């Protein structure tokens, strides 16, 4: 992530994985960036570049889409993968209560 005003990086880059999708949102009143890589979805604090909780894991192939929404008044992170599933992740991670995600088979066209 980069500060557009100064051109300087924000936080340390995660150079361990390719990034396939990025979205920005406001979760718990703070700006965040949601990114995906191979089988993983990460949420980072946009101001500091630091991780905002543990990564969401569970996909078995590349995660190619990420988004956020409200579900029953709670923020959720949504991810779509080449494993042909869409997952809905509870936010914040501390409120997962053992529920890692709900996988929904998604039609996949080529």
The per-residue pLDDT of the chain, averaged, comes to 76
Three-state DSSP at 101 gives: coil
Largest CA distance in the chain: 43
**What is the mean predicted confidence (pLDDT) over 34-42?**
83
pLDDT tens figures, 63-88: 999 998 888 888 888 899 999 889 98
Q: Is the pLDDT of residue 98 over 50?
A: no
Residue 70 to residue 77: CA distance in whole angstroms: 9
Note the residue count of the chain.
110
Residue 87 to residue 102: CA distance in whole angstroms: 5
Residue 37 to residue 65: CA distance in whole angstroms: 10
Residue 5 to residue 76: CA distance in whole angstroms: 30
Q: Is the pLDDT of residue 39 over 70?
A: yes
pTM summary value: 0.72
**For residues 6 and 60, which has the higher predicted lDDT (pLDDT)?**
60
Sketch the domain layout of the chain as residue ranges.
21-105
Topology of 21-105 in CATH? Thrombin, subunit H (2.40.10)
């Amino acid at each position: 992530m980069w500060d557009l005003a100064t051109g300087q990086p924000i936080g340390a880059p995660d150079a361990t994985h390719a990034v396939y999708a990025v979205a920005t949102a406001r979760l718990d009143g703070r700006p965040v960036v949601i990114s995906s890589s191979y089988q993983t979805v990460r949420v980072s604090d946009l101001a500091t570049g630091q991780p905002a909780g543990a990564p969401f894991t569970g996909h078995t192939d590349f995660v190619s889409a990420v988004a956020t929404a409200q579900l029953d008044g709670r923020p959720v992170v949504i991810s779509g993968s080449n494993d042909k599933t869409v997952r809905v992740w509870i936010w914040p991670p501390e409120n997962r209560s053992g529920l890692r995600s709900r996988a929904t088979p998604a039609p996949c066209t080529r």
